[in-house]
Amino acid sequence: MKQYQIAVVIGSLRRDSFNRKLANAIIKLAPSDLSFKNLEIGDLPLYNQDQDAHPAEVVTLFKNEIKSAQGLLFVTAEYNRSMPGVLKNAIDHGSRPYGQNAWAEKPAGVLGISPGSAGTALAQQHLRNVLAYLDMPTMGQPEAFIQMKEGLFDETGSIGNADSQKFLQSWMDRYVTWIKKYSR
């Protein structure tokens, strides 16, 4: 059975962020032929084109982790009706310098969670626009705009609500199909 390495990019740096919890919970719904690795984005310096010729070691390692993955999972917060700056910074590092886009042709899934009733809908839409430009085939359906509510996660960090678990399992099943179809 072929193994698929999935790089996980969480658009929040907070240790106890809802999106980190969602990422950890949804990974538990994946089959054993997918393995996941969280990519650290908080250590990346602010993107500066002057550094393209001599990127920091952490940037080179980050880009190599993207290149070695067969797919990406973006789990993002929404800040001020868009994706967090730290996520955009990571995307910029991965795509630069021009002509050295590590994201290109990597299949992706996008989801997120927020206390608001619309979840992270606007952040996800902005992120999808950027991923399309970067030539990443991004799963369009089902969309997952999760609202954080009491009982969503159980004491083990799994999805505790039966309806949410059913929905997120169907999301993961579709994501697995997407990755297997588009990964190289």
- Polymer length of the chain: 184
Q: What is the per-residue pLDDT across 17-32, written as a single tens digit (0 to 9) for each?
A: 999 999 999 999 999 9
Any idea what the Cα angle at residue 40 is, between residues 36 and 118, rounded to 5°?
Answer: 80
Measured torsion, CA atoms of residues 183, 85, 63, 10, in degrees rounded to the nearest 10? -50
In the chain, pLDDT over 90 holds for what percent of residues? 96
From the centroid of its chain, how far is CA 128? 11
Query: What predicted TM-score, i.e. pTM, was given to this entire model?
Result: 0.97
Could you tell me where the DSSP H helices lie in the chain? Answer: 18-27, 57-68, 85-95, 121-133, 162-182
Residues 74, 68: Cα–Cα separation, whole Å: 16
Q: What is the per-residue pLDDT across 32-80, written as a single tens digit (0 to 9) for each?
A: 999 999 999 999 999 999 999 999 999 999 999 999 999 999 999 999 9
Mean pLDDT for the chain?
96
Contacts of 135 (CB under 8 A, 6+ apart): 101, 103, 104, 105
pLDDT tier at 1 (50, 70, 90 boundaries)? confident
CB atoms within 10 A of CB 80: 9
Q: Per-residue pLDDT for 184 more than 90?
A: no
Q: Per-residue pLDDT for 90 more than 90?
A: yes
Contacts of 62 (CB under 8 A, 6+ apart): 39, 40, 41, 44, 90, 93, 94
Residue type, 88: K
Mean pLDDT of the region 88-108: 97
Q: What is the per-residue pLDDT across 114-158, written as a single tens digit (0 to 9) for each?
A: 999 898 999 999 999 999 999 999 999 999 999 999 999 999 999
pLDDT at 65: 98
Q: Which residue has the higher pLDDT, 105 or 161?
A: 105
From the centroid of its chain, how far is CA 137? 13
